[in-house]
Amino acid sequence: MFKRGFNKIYMKVLWVAAKLLPISKPTMFIGKDSSVELCRSIALMGPKKVLIVTDAGIVNLGFVEMLSSELEKWSVSTECYSRVTPDPTYDQVESGAVLYRESCCDAVLAIGGGSPIDCGKAIAALATNVKPIKRLTGLLKLRKAPAPLFVIPTTAGTGSEVTVAAVISDPITHKKTPILDHKLMPVAAALDPVLMQGLPSHITAQTGMDALTHAVESYISTNATPETDRYALAAVKLIAKSLETAVSNGGNLEARLDMALASYYAGLAFTKASLGYTHAIAHTLGSYYGVPHGLANALVLPNVLAYSKNSAASRLANLAVVIGEPAGGDNAEAFISWVRDLRQKLGIPDTLESLDEGDIAGIARQACIEAVWNYPAPRYMEQQDCERVIAELLPTTAD
């Protein structure tokens, strides 16, 4: 009883903090070739040398060379740090910060999915807050504003271009540790569908489900507001309209832009309304088995929604109407069924082959701790509730 009462007070504090903190929005460049416009804007803001933070795949696609050439047209030189891997680690951030200082850079441009953008945020933070990265993890630990940060996402899912968090992994424990600070918001970002055309279909599907999870969990959050509702509903509409097309026809620029906008809107929504148990469980599956975050969210989302259905029925029913279901009937169940059907259409499984039954109790314990201390969920889980939700992911064994 005490724990539940304290949780309600704590979530109210988070709600007040989200309303009072001066969370800005980046200047956005949106549409075909908007990344070129961003380069011009970077130059106008005065940096002389920019550290490009990315991964090897983005380098191989030629995007770094293209954007470096654009910056050089405006007399801005570049240095590239491309050692970022999925779930960037403390050592990657610290080596990137060393390169930033040794190369006399004065701004950061992160290009890629959530991992390069998170790493870029952390490098920008470390550039001005000179201390071990581990001491920057947690809530509001940045004493100084980070170096100017610019962002070009090449996936449509994380919404990292408009969030105030960067998740960095401890290379020893492999736990994901967030840096949470309103100062991490990028100065400007570009949503360029041209840079998303070559994204493989399975990555498009998984990152799209990540954006959907952000939108849905923020909409059913008890800390949702009219502002976050507008963003969440816009994201769900765009995903319902364009995710399947983006997966089946990656060259469709309209669908790609729709998904980029959906990710952006969902990011704006959860930055203030927060998330829920889907993310708590997905993060833990990632730390246990290295499951990609979008895939983990897709696996877990409908199961968590089913658990939350009675507590979030009216909100889930609203989402059903948004995706085209007629009003009336059990629309909450209709929306959950739509999520399951969408997952199947995208070729995403409903079970996790690597899930070990012996790990379920530990996964549930870690997820419950994360949820209680971070998320204003519509319905909280006890240990056994969470274990049951996770057990639904066990592969079925044929007789």
Is residue 9 domain-resident? no
Which domain-ending residue is among 196, 215, 239?
A: 196
pLDDT at 235: 98
CA 20-25-26 angle, to 5 degrees, is 150
85, 50: one domain? yes
> Which CATH number do you get for residue 367?
1.20.1090.10
The answer to whether residues 261 and 237 belong to one domain is yes
88-186-207 Cα angle (round to 5): 55
Buried b (16+ CB within 10 A) or exposed e, 306-319: bbbbeebbebbbbb
Q: Does residue 16 fall inside a structural domain?
A: no
The answer to whether the CB of 93 falls within 8 A of the CB of 168 is: yes
d(CA 56, CA 385): 41
Does residue 105 surpass a pLDDT of 60? yes
pLDDT of residue 7: 59
Cα–Cα dist 319/379, whole Å: 18
**Residue 2, in any domain of the structure:** no
Residue 381's SS3 state is: coil
204-258 residue pLDDT tens = 999 999 999 999 999 999 999 999 999 999 999 999 999 999 999 999 999 999 9
Report the number of distinct structural domains present in the chain: 2
User: Domain with 122 in it: what CATH number?
Assistant: 3.40.50.1970
What was the pLDDT predicted at 329?
72
How much is the pLDDT for 325?
83
Together in a domain, 86 and 68 = yes
Indicate if 192 and 207 belong to the same structural domain.
Answer: no
Residue 51: which residues within 8 A CB-CB, separation 6 or more? 78, 79, 80, 81, 96, 99, 100, 103, 105, 107, 108, 109, 123
- In this structure, what token pair is assigned to residue 230? 């507008």
Does the residue 184 lie in any domain?
Answer: yes
Task: Based on the fold, state whether residues 301 and 188 are members of the same structural domain.
Answer: no
pLDDT exceeds 90 at position 46: yes
Please check the confidence at residue 5 and state whether its pLDDT lies above 60.
Answer: no
Which residue, of 196, 231, 251, is where some domain finishes? Answer: 196
Average pLDDT of the residues of the chain: 92
**Residue range 383-387: average pLDDT?**
98
Domain span at residue 151? 24-196
- Sorted by sequence, the CB contacts under 8 Å of residue 128 that are 6+ apart come out as 144, 145, 146, 147
- Flag whether pLDDT at 149 surpasses 80: yes
How do residues 332-347 score in pLDDT, each as one tens digit?
999 999 999 999 999 9
Determine, yes or no, domain membership for 1: no
Dist CA 387 CA 399 (whole Å): 24
What would the pLDDT profile of 50-74 be if each residue is shown by its tens digit? 999 999 999 999 999 999 999 999 9
Q: How many CA atoms does the CB half-sphere of 99 hold within 13 Å?
A: 19
- Last residue of a domain, which of 153, 180, 196? 196
CA 90/CA 96 separation, integer angstroms: 10
